[in-house]
Every structure is written in structure tokens, then in C-alpha cells.
Structure 1
Amino acid sequence: MNIIRWSFANGIRRTRWLSISSPIHRDLNNPLLFHPSQSPLPSNNRPLPYNLRALSDKTSSSIHDDVKPEPTQTVSQEQQTEEEKKTNHDIKDDQTRVLQAALEHVPTLGWTEAAMVAGAREVDLSPSIVGAFPRKEAALVEYFMDDCLQRLLGEIESREEELSNLVFHDRIAKIIRIRLEMQVPYISKWPQALSIQANPLNLPTSFKQRAVLVDEIWHAAGDRSTDLDWYAKRTLLGGIYAATELYMLTDYSPEFRNTWIFLDRRVSDAVDCRKTAQEAAQLATAIGAGIGNTVQAFLRRQTQ
């Protein structure tokens, strides 16, 4: 009896085992199980297929493919150069606006950093832009000199008929007068400008600007000679201009009348070639102080 019960229980256990193991056996032999594209992922109560790792890698790859990093944008050297040029142009344009506006404050504040700061505020720029000027006060004076030269050329062009009707020495005196009259609004502060120009760091630019001015005056007067007297003429005219400029600082006559008389006499005497060397030496001595010391040495070398 016990043997019969054991055999019956054993048969029931075998039947249950076969009912569970048979689906697994069939699934393991099913080729679709090894193709993730055709077979769903197994549930928790089924064994993991061998090809599940491949399925996981493919799924991960597709996810990463959807989220790709944006390609980095590379800027060519030409584009960088163009951007730098544009930036530099904008900076120079802002600096020019500051200097132009600062000239309005020079009669009260002088050729100073304070005038430049006031100019920056006037054109709605930060006063910190003044720090971009390596030689602040000198930059303001040099801008004024360049601006006056451009204005002088415009006046010469607009008065061409008037100037052509004058004799040679009167034409030169008239052009110098037009230029010096541009300094009248700043005459009380002009000694400060001369002192800034006389600074050793600023002398090269100062002499260059004055040399260009003298050359333009000679050309406007009609002199086109290229002989050996070219340097002597410009040296002499530079001395006349500097002497008249200094005389103007101490002239309190109405509308600088005595200054223009002084200028006419110096030009008339200089036109006489027999007095050229003597006149140049006298003018160099008259300049005397500040920037004149360097001019004197220059004129002495030219007249030896």
C-alpha cells in the first residue's frame, strides 16, 4: 500500500515538472528567441536569452543616436580677422567721438584728462574709455592738430579764387593766419598744449605734424620746386609759424591785430632770399623756450 502511494505521488510530481519544463524547452529551441527584432523581452519568470546583451547594446546605440552633441562651430582665421578689424574700427570711432567732444571743454578744463572724461560723458560713453589712450593729453592735442589741418585744406579749397589774386608773400601770410585763427578759442590754454608737445615722448609726432602743415602751406601758396632750397624754405616757414604762434600768446590787441602785422613783416622779409639764412637764425633764437629749443637746434643744422 505504501509503495502504491509513493508511486502515485511520484507520478504527480513528474507530471507537474513536465508541465513547467516543456514550455521552457520549446522556447529555448525556438529560433525566434535569438532575434530581438522579432521576439519581445522576456518576463521575470522566464530565463534570459543569450542574445539579450546584443539587444541591450542596439537599444542603447539607438538612444545615443537620437541625442547627438551639436557640432562645434569653428571660426576661420579670415572671419576672426574681419571681426577684429570691425572691433578696432568701432573702438577708434568711439575714441574719435570722445576727442571731438572733449575740444568743447578745453577752454574751461584745458588739455587734460578731465576734458576727455567730460567729452566721453557727452557722447554717452563710459569715462573708462579714456584709459584706452596711451598718451591722454597728447592724444587730445594731436587730434586737434590733425583736425585743424583738414579744416585748413578745406578753407584753401573754398578760397582758391581769393588766394590766387594775392601776391606770393601775402598768400602765405593769409594761409598762416587762417590756420592760427583756429587756435583763438583755445588761446588761453595753448601754452599748456605747447608744453605737452614739448614732452620728449610727444616731440616726434609734434614735429611730424608741423612738417606736414608747413609743406601743405607751401603747396597751397603755389610753390612746387624740388631744388636744394626745398628744406631751407620749409625750415624758414616753420620758424615764421612758430614765432607768430608764440607772439600771439602775448598779444592783447583787438582781434590779434599786432600778431597779423608781425606775421606780414616776417613773411615779407623771408621772401627776400638775401635774408633767408639770417632770418631763420633770428627766428630760431626768438622761439627760445619749450619746443623752441629743439627747433633752434634743427634750424642751426639747416643753416650751417
Structure 2
Amino acid sequence: PPPPGPFTPSESLLLSHAYAHVPASGFTPTALALGARSAGLLDISATILPRGVFSLILFHLVTQRGALASRAAAIPAGPVAERVEALTWARLQGNQDAGVVGGLQEALAIMAQPSCVPASVAELAKLSDEIWYLAGDVAVDPSWYTKRASLAAIYAAAELFMTNDKSEGFRETREFLRRRLAEAGEIGDVTRSVREWVGFTASAGINVLRSKGVPV
């Protein structure tokens, strides 16, 4: 079934087929056109997506977030912090399993565009909340907000790190994730995490756009 999210049945049909073409074509209009064809639709059907390629990126984010519940069932019971790490890593592995790591830099560049930032940040917040929930966090205090904001920033930084990771099985990405989670647990510096995420994402977006010949 299509994942829950801001998609109509026709959008879900097109996007689910286009998603299968992302490993070879990236998050691009080409993937949308190929998806329309494989869904038995006219190429022009891709125009039903008012946000274009960003809709395909959002479909990826929603799909992978929705898959976390089943992944959580396979993670052994343990301290909340350990389950948070395991679930965050499982979400990053979802990029590899879906074959989209090669298209992440371009996706991040699109997500960093002003018109896409609100929806991108909202989905990142939902992911962070889902991870804490599945990890068994039941605390209701001021730390509820800081923990989620910090994890969102750490996840985003780890995903960006993943785009340049050539190590086997993305071993270095997992080590990066562990370091950042340990640092956050020791100093609780959510402000620094958010600031670094914004800087990393903006830099990645600018570099990718420049590589495409966009004057920025």
C-alpha cells in the first residue's frame, strides 16, 4: 500500500513507480517520466505533481520513515539511547537498501531550496519524533523538545556525511553517527548541532547547484 502522507492515490501511483527508477536516474524529472510510463500513464502525468521532483524526494522520506516500525521490531530491547542509535542507523541504511545514496546530494540541494525548506524540516522533525517514540522514550519534560531537535540535526549531518562515504558498508558513517550521539549526550548542545546542520546542508546545496551550472 502507498505510505501515509500528503499524496493523492494518483500521486502515490506515479511516485511509487518513479521511486523504482531513482537508483539509476536519481531524484530527477527523468525518474518521474519513467515512472509515469511504467505506471501506464502518459509522460505528461508527471505534471500532476505541483512540487515536481521534490514530491519524489518527499515520497522517499515518508516511505523510509514508515518502514521504521517494522525495523524496530527486529532491534533487541535495551536502553532508550541504544535503541535511538540503532533506529537512526536503520533509517540511514534505508537509503542504501533503496539504492538512493548516489542521488542524496542532489536531493539535499533541492531540499535546501527556500520553497522546500518548510516541508523538509517538518519531515525531519517527524522522523526524529518517530525514532524517539519507537525507542521507548516516554519522558514528558522540557528535554522532549531538545532531544528531538538534537537528533534531527545529528541525523541530517550523518546523512550528508553518508553522501561522501566510500567505506565498506558505510562503516565511517556509522562511526560518525556514534560520535555525534555521544557528544550530544555529554554536552547536550542542541544549538551547536542545529547550527552545524544548517551550515552543512547549505554548503552541500550550493555546491550541487553550482555543479549543475546554477549561478549561486
TM-score, scaled relative to structure 1: 0.60
In structure 1, the gaps of 5 or more residues are 1-90, 294-304
Return 262-271 or 204-213, whichever deviates more: 262-271
Query: How far is the alpha carbon of 1:204 from its aligned partner?
Result: 1.1
Which residue of structure 2 aligns with residue 253 of structure 1? 167
The superposition leaves residues 10-43 of structure 1 with CA deviations (integer Å, 9 ceiling, x where unpaired) of xxxxxxxxxxxxxxxxxxxxxxxxxxxxxxxxxx
| Aligned with residue 125 of structure 1, among 26, 41, 47 | 41
Which residue of structure 2 aligns with residue 176 of structure 1? 88
- State the structure with more CA Rg: 1
Query: How far is the alpha carbon of 1:113 from its aligned partner?
Result: 1.4
Which residue identity is paired with 1:253?
Answer: S
Alignment of 1:13-52 (within 5 A): none
RCO higher in 1 or 2 (8 Å CA, sep ≥ 6)? 2
The reply on whether 1:110 has 2:26 as its aligned counterpart is yes
Alignment of 1:86-105 (within 5 A): 92-105=8-21
Report SS of the residue matched to 1:288.
helix
The reply on whether 1:187 has 2:101 as its aligned counterpart is yes
Report SS of the residue matched to 2:8.
helix
Query: How far is the alpha carbon of 1:262 from its aligned partner?
Result: 1.4
Cα distance in 2 for partners of 1:234, 1:289 equals 19
Cα distance in 1 for partners of 2:61, 2:175 equals 24
Q: What RMSD in Å do the two structures reach over aligned CA positions? A: 2.0
| Aligned with residue 195 of structure 2, among 284, 291, 295 | 284
Report SS of the residue matched to 1:260.
helix
Contact 2:161 2:173 in 1 (8 A): yes
Report SS of the residue matched to 1:183.
helix
Contact 1:176 1:241 in 2 (8 A): yes
Query: How far is the alpha carbon of 1:121 from its aligned partner?
Result: 0.6
Residue-pair matches, total: 196
Query: How far is the alpha carbon of 1:92 from its aligned partner?
Result: 2.8
Which residue of structure 2 aligns with residue 238 of structure 1? 152
Contact 2:150 2:193 in 1 (8 A): no
The superposition leaves residues 116-146 of structure 1 with CA deviations (integer Å, 9 ceiling, x where unpaired) of 1101111111112111111110111011111
